[in-house]
Amino acid sequence: MEYKTLGRTGLKVSTLCLGTMNFGDVTAKEDAFAIMDAASDTGINYFDTADVYGGPQKPDMEKGYGISEEIVGEWLARGGRRDSLVLATKFYQPMQTDPNGRGLSAYHIRQAVEDSLRRLGTDRIDLYQMHHSDMSVPRDELWQALDILVQQGKILYVGSSNHAGWQIATTHAAAQARGSLGLVSEQTYYNLMERTAELEVLPACKYHGMGFVAWSPLNRGLLGGVLDAPSQGRRARAGVAQKVEAVRPQLEAYEAFCKELGATPGAVALAWLRANPVVTAPITGPRTLDQLNDALASQELTLCAEALARLDEIWPGPGGEAPQAYAW
């Protein structure tokens, strides 16, 4: 397993992050334990979860919130691996019907961190991430609340997720004006097929010395060999067939090229992300041990310049950074 520092910090994380969104939802607890055991045994030290993972995310539905955190917490309690793990979670999403049970207000932050600490069974969260931006909250209010948690030792670092480039810059600048460390990472939707982040989010992370973590690196399974296994798991959902047909020529070219490389499509998609020096780690969210093993295989795959150029031909990006990509 390879490790990188998370942005400008001294924190070293594995270049593959274990995502736990499926735990408690489509992956049963004992299967989740087996996945975490295997991930830890192979050197993955970076686990990512969120307070809403594990069940329904609408406040009027039966409670399902927090199940993923609870499963991770049970695994930590029985395995004794807490001090070797970089534990990341997220807050923002509605956790109750109360209007203050969501967002980035100081009120909600205080409640959210205590609830996550309790579910995870730990005294600290290593990376506490804003799941989405909430620019209606004053930046001073946001950072005052987070700075207090850092001072109390309840969180160590602060990250963002699903933020635009300007939101990253604005939020980070407000922290620096207070003398705070500020944002150390951004977690964004990014993969071979969806490359909008190359316009502003990746450049913002590079400029501010932030780690970049890519979620949905297989684009919800479309880059995982969907043509060879069209009916497996979530690929059988209504609407996936239409998505496949919309990009079938590219998918056919992509999967054929992966066969030329002698690698699985999933491994190639993850290796492509690892080849970008701005990317700290992609998040793999396995439902099964087989899916975890496929992700781990990507660690042995290095793509040459010719292979990267061919992938750019199949899945072209936006043309570089903004504004050069579209202005001239």
Cβ neighbours for 96, distance < 8 A, ≥ 6 positions apart: 59
Which listed residue (46, 53, 65, 92) is catalytic?
A: 53
E strand or H helix at 52, and its extent? none
Which tokens sit at 145?
A: 């609340």
Rounded to whole angstroms, the Cα distance separating 317 from 320 reads 7
Cβ neighbours for 209, distance < 8 A, ≥ 6 positions apart: 7, 8
- Assess whether 107 carries a catalytic annotation: no
Q: Is 126 left (phi over 0), alpha (psi -120 to 50) or beta?
A: alpha
b (16+ CB within 10 A) / e for 20-48: bbbbbbebeeebbbbbbebbbeeebbbbb
Closest among 80, 82, 10 to 47, alpha carbons compared: 82
AA identity, residue 179: G
E strand or H helix at 232, and its extent? none
- Other Cβ atoms less than 10 A from the Cβ of 276: the count is 15
Q: What is the DSSP string of 271-304?
A: HHHHTSTTEEEEEE--SSHHHHHHHHHGGG----
In 119-269, DSSP assigns E strands to: 125-130, 155-161, 183-189, 211-215
Cβ neighbours for 81, distance < 8 A, ≥ 6 positions apart: 40
Q: What is the DSSP letter of 62?
A: P
Would you please indicate which residues are annotated as catalytic (active-site) residues?
A: 53
